[in-house]
Structure 1
């Protein structure tokens, strides 16, 4: 993280005065995937565990919109996040705590820890000028992570996307259908995928993936 962020929750300057809410100021918040479902026992049809599934619950989600051809905008976002803003379609940039996912030519999703996302938003609003938009979607989305040697087999049962590594390499991001819902697919590592899903469909998608992974010995990680 760049030193643009101050350690304290700071106020916005009058010129940039916007109502900014820290969605995780008072814990505990409720995960989109309820504990009794998340920890539900899966009865796999094999003794071999080829897929591990877990929810990366209560992460910070910011949607940023702006002009990728505006050097000041690109530099400002990059300086605050300590990551280059990905301007190439379907790509992402990531470090140990934060990821920036390209969603469209003028739209990006920032994923970071819950305790950092408020300060990130404040710093972005203080750093950026001109025409831009920042929306905190932390309460409206969640992330499901799948790892293991059979992850592609589960995804092939769930989407029409070509998820073969030659077509969908590590670092690629695509929004598409997932069963009868939708998700943003992020291939974040070898045999590791993150699915960003809407809160209202999280229960359905979790159940779908539990069923799709049974034959591969899916294990749910708390």
Structure 2
């Protein structure tokens, strides 16, 4: 029997495939925007002090973060705190394999592990003007005194709910729902124009 997976992978299309050229044209030295498609995302809900949380941490290679806005990351995996008993695991590992491993770690204990990889895409906004671009439409305090590398918050950007994750001094990852990704990307391109000097098509 022929394995159907290669055929399905060939048909796979990212939420922002239609904007690939526009993202490249709208980027410059001061600020750049690109899609990082098809990252694995797994929603994890578990009692933070439970044995199941400990087993999940062993699979990931780190303890689940315990504070609002905190991110824990090692190797291919990162866990973003969403609420006292909820995390989003973002990874470059295969989605089914990671979800199965985390579900096995949860076992029969109370909680939930769900592969939500198709629910969002990831936009990488980088450059010395990246924070200024975000501040045009994000109500969160993004000043370094309040928000820095290794932080992630649920907020809005141009009135669209997003998960905003700062991965470096001038590097951000923006995770909108796939259905809103086109709007968010076009808004960002417009907000970048004064520095990048290119218009989205």
**TM-score, L = length of structure 2:** 0.88
For residue 27 of structure 1, give the secondary structure of its aligned residue in structure 2: helix
C-alpha separation between the residues in 2 aligned to 1:96 and 1:218?
A: 36
Where structure 2 has 5 or more consecutive residues not aligned to the other structure, the ranges are none
Corresponding pairs, count: 192
Find out whether 1:63 has 2:46 as its counterpart: no
Where structure 1 has 5 or more consecutive residues not aligned to the other structure, the ranges are 1-22
**Contact conserved, 2:76 with 2:91, CA < 8 A, in 1?**
yes
**Contact conserved, 1:42 with 1:210, CA < 8 A, in 2?**
no
Residue-by-residue CA offset, 1:164-186 (whole Å, 9 max, x unaligned): 11111211111011102111111
Shift of 1:43: 5.9
Name the counterpart of 1:102: 81
Shift of 1:83: 2.0
Change in 2 beyond 3 A, CA 1:218/1:87: farther
Change in 2 beyond 3 A, CA 1:25/1:96: farther
- Root-mean-square deviation (CA, aligned residues, Å) is 2.2
C-alpha separation between the residues in 2 aligned to 1:163 and 1:172?
A: 10
- Residue pairs, 1:14-163, within 5 angstroms: 26-28=8-10, 29-34=12-17, 36-40=18-22, 42=25, 49-70=29-50, 72-113=51-92, 115-129=93-107, 130-163=109-142
**TM-score, L = length of structure 1:** 0.80
Out of 93-102 and 139-148, give the one that drifted further.
Answer: 93-102
**Contact conserved, 1:62 with 1:138, CA < 8 A, in 2?**
yes
**Contact conserved, 1:52 with 1:218, CA < 8 A, in 2?**
no
Q: Which has the higher contact order (CA 8 A, sep 6+)?
A: 1
Shift of 1:126: 1.6
Change in 2 beyond 3 A, CA 1:79/1:118: same
